[in-house]
A and B are shown apart, each in its own frame.
Chain A
Amino acid sequence: DGGITQSPKYLFRKEGQNVTLSCEQNLNHDAMYWYRQDPGQGLRLIYYSQIVNDFQKGDIAEGYSVSREKKESFPLTVTSAQKNPTAFYLCATAGGYEQYFGPGTRLTVT
């Protein structure tokens, strides 16, 4: 079963705690992306990676960190420095310039 998996689907954390969101793909795509989606807004790019061991900041990288140790995996850590972490987080890959998305993780921080 090919595709992109994100876990967990729902995540709850207390303010001040770091949390890591998982993204795994078996599409053999080089490029992977993390987006944040807030109600009434379009998707905003947090980080992206074109190849293993390399990644770049997107438009709203502050308070987030990533790693790309394997082609299949691109985990996103939401740190305590992120002021408004509650949002819907979407992971995506790109193959042939077309983007494919995972099911998303809804993070709630209280």
Chain B
Amino acid sequence: KQEVTQIPAALSVPEGENLVLNCSFTDSAIYNLQWFRQDPGKGLTSLLLIQSSQREQTSGRLNASLDKSSGRSTLYIAASQPGDSATYLCAVRGMKTSYDKVIFGPGTSLSVIP
């Protein structure tokens, strides 16, 4: 059974720092991995999608990497800003079931201090 974990659960950094969020999954047979951002009381906003054949994806100050063999993904945020404060969730789509099942991690709550 696929399990997804995220470390740390919470992170507080001063503005301007570079930071890394971690996502681990137990079953390497995934179709893709997606990183989301969630603001308090809001829905999820997709940040980056990495297909299983890819190693990384970049969008602006965000860079996500994927190492399927070790069951890990990282989300790198460069030059953090207070507006980056939110909860970040990773989700993996499996390949072993007959439907597109997506398993979510519990999230990392990020606070960027001005």
Give the interface of A toward B (CB within 8 A): 4, 6, 31, 33, 35, 40-43, 45, 48, 50, 56, 88, 90, 92, 94, 97-104, 106
B32 and A42 form a contact (CB under 8 A): no
The answer for the CA separation of A48 and B49 in the assembled complex, in Å, is 21
B106 and A48 form a contact (CB under 8 A): no
Residues of B within 8 A of A45 (CB): 101-102
Closest A residue, CB atoms, query B98: A56
The answer for the CA separation of A41 and B105 in the assembled complex, in Å, is 8
29 contacts between A and B (CB under 8 A): A6-B43, A31-B100, A40-B106, A41-B106, A42-B89, A42-B103, A42-B106, A42-B107, A45-B102, A50-B100, A88-B41, A90-B43, A90-B44, A94-B100, A97-B32, A97-B49, A97-B93, A97-B100, A98-B32, A98-B49, A99-B34, A99-B44, A99-B46, A99-B102, A101-B44, A102-B43, A103-B42, A103-B43, A104-B42
Residues of A within 8 A of B34 (CB): 98-99
Closest B residue, CB atoms, query A94: B100
Q: Is the C-beta of B104 less than 8 angstroms from some C-beta in chain A?
A: yes
Give the interface of B toward A (CB within 8 A): 4, 31-32, 34, 36, 41-46, 49, 89, 91, 93, 99-107
Closest A residue, CB atoms, query B31: A97
